[in-house]
Amino acid sequence: MDKIAISVVVDIFDDEGTTVRPKRVAELLKNNFDTCFINRSSSDLKEINGIPVHIVKPAGTKLWNIKLFGLLSGNDFDFVYCSSDWFGFLTYFMLKRFYDYKIIFEAHTIISEEFKERKAHPFKVFFFQVLEKFAIKHSDYVVALSENIYDYYSYNKNIELVHVFIDEELFISDVKRKINDDKKVIGLIGPFDEFSNQYFLEFLRKNIDQFDDRISFRIIGKCQDKIQHPRIEYTGYMNSIHDYVNVLSSLDGLLVPSRVATLGPLNKIIEAMACSVPVFTTPKGIVGLYNIKPGQEIYVLEEDDLVCGLNNHVFSDELINIAKNARLYVEKYYSKKANEKKLLRIFNRLNEG
């Protein structure tokens, strides 16, 4: 059985956008391959969800690349799967000729364009342009999470579009949403210390009194900067994925007031849509979503129109159709069933070639 190491530079024991994908990839691969994680963490745990973890300590160490040398010397991997690990790639590439593994790079975003979007210093943008070009060019195969990423990195001909995928049997609305025209609960999902999520709370803080009085808000995830208001409640950090799905599926809508495009589909949007929860977002929020139809599967409004639009749509009869279409959209493009064969096919091709 081939051995696969999934390299993740952020702490795999945390639940956030960058760790969700590699965990799902590992769950899919473990039935066909001897799968493990290589991870930068301070944890003493040896596995997660039954999958072994090789830890480089501590979390956030600047010696990630150097410490990988020692870790690789004691293992005989057939594949290294870099899950958005741009820096780790440099070490894996240097040692590739000695250990004879193949490198698959999974691009979660167009990293240089994302830093442009964040108004980063031009030198930083240039640095990541050079880094991403090197990593993509020298990977044996590239996995792109969205169509725009696929198009941008297609100068490597060995590239495959494998969407963000979720377990459609887990993310399903098993909490019957109340049909109640008088009160609606709208969710916002963190963690709110992440750059792309920080503005969500600011948007709610400055607009809370403009929302219909019948609308209350549920803040899901880790949140330090809490807004004190009678119509806002907090779940805190949620350890259980099942509790998270239950809370998510009980919402009447999800608000994603994105001001910065991540250039890759947001997990929170796909998870909500899978649970038949209507999503209200901006044009920035749907960047990277494949073939999405605003007004049919999701509500897309300019930031200045979000409050008014949510006030009007969340009480309308059309909400039911949006919710149903959202679920069908995820099943078609972002389900595990729709994507697992494409991912497994990559390893088969590399073994054959």
| Structure confidence at residue 178 (pLDDT) | 52
Considering only the C-alpha atoms of the chain, give the largest distance between any 2 of them, rounded to a whole number of Å.
66
Query: Which residue, among 223, 278, 282, has the nearest Cα to 258 in the 3D structure?
Result: 282
For 193, the 3-state DSSP assignment is: coil
Round to whole Å and give the CA distance between 129 and 320. Answer: 44
Instruction: Give the pLDDT score at 55.
Output: 94
pLDDT tens per residue, range 90-147: 999 999 989 999 999 999 999 999 899 888 999 999 999 999 999 999 999 999 999 9
Q: In the CATH scheme, what is the homologous superfamily, with its name and number, of domain 3-165+335-352?
A: Glycogen Phosphorylase B; (3.40.50.2000)
Number of Cα atoms under 13 Å in the Cβ half of residue 307? 13
Topology annotation, domain 184-333: Rossmann fold (3.40.50)
Question: What residue ranges of the chain have pLDDT lower than 70?
Answer: 174-181, 263
Please determine whether the domains at 3-165+335-352 and 184-333 fall in the same fold group of CATH.
yes
Q: Is the peptide bond before 58 cis (omega within 30 degrees of 0)?
A: yes
Sign of CA dihedral 89, 90, 91, 95: positive
pLDDT at residue number 227: 92
60: left (phi over 0), alpha (psi -120 to 50) or beta: left
* Domains of the chain, residue spans: 3-165+335-352, 184-333
φ and ψ at residue 252, rounded to 5 degrees: -90, -15
- pTM value is 0.86
How far apart CA 147 and CA 334 sit, in angstroms, is 13
CA distances to 36, 37, 106, 199, 339 from 41, in Å: 15, 11, 20, 28, 29
